[in-house]
A = this chain, B = another copy of it.
């Protein structure tokens, strides 16, 4: 199983944005749409062994955690940004009334929303997966021996804060796909194709 976790510091936590201007009105939910595309999609296929956690920390009600669970997902994920943004909107609407921090609402089979924090999700993930923080100064992924269950944490276009990085120190190994600073969706596309090439791919 492959888990990808992205913390989006400005992504809106209410469905108050325009599909016709995602970059300008949503706190860059377009970044999350491309992230989901890279995590799940093959040409004419879908990766069932993938889980994605989107951690939204923008206004007005942070945090919101949206989970896409590959093995159970029964809603079609299309490659284009707009249709994926609609799914995120539905999840945010379904999560509007949520008060309890630990409760998850099932929006569709395999798609869930909750008020979980970034730290909650990382701790939960640690129970079943080896955790890696994708960072340009980490160890090259080609030198890492990956176990069957792996989880990768990425920052959005602004990157993770010092506080988030301090939290990850000691629990997530820093790994890298290269020394440049790449877009999160490109990193995930690279990691997926790289993992596929291993003798025992996670």
Task: List A residues at the B interface (Cβ < 8 Å).
Answer: 19-23, 30-31, 34, 37-38, 41-45, 78-83, 157, 177-187, 189-190, 192-194, 196-197
Q: CA of A44 to CA of B20 in the docked complex: distance in angstroms? A: 23
| A41 contacts across to B, CB distance below 8 A | 183, 186
A177–B185 alpha-carbon span in the complex (Å):
17
Residues of B within 8 A of A186 (CB): 38, 41, 189, 192-193
Question: How many Å lie between the Cα of A81 and that of B81 in the bound state?
Answer: 7
Asked if B23 contacts A78 (CB within 8 A), the reply is: yes
A197: chain B residues at CB < 8 Å are 178
Task: Report whether A30 and B80 are in contact in the complex, using a CB–CB cutoff of 8 Å.
Answer: yes
Q: Kindly list chain B residues whose C-beta atoms are within 8 Å of the C-beta of A21.
A: 82
A41 CA to B23 CA, complexed, in Å: 16
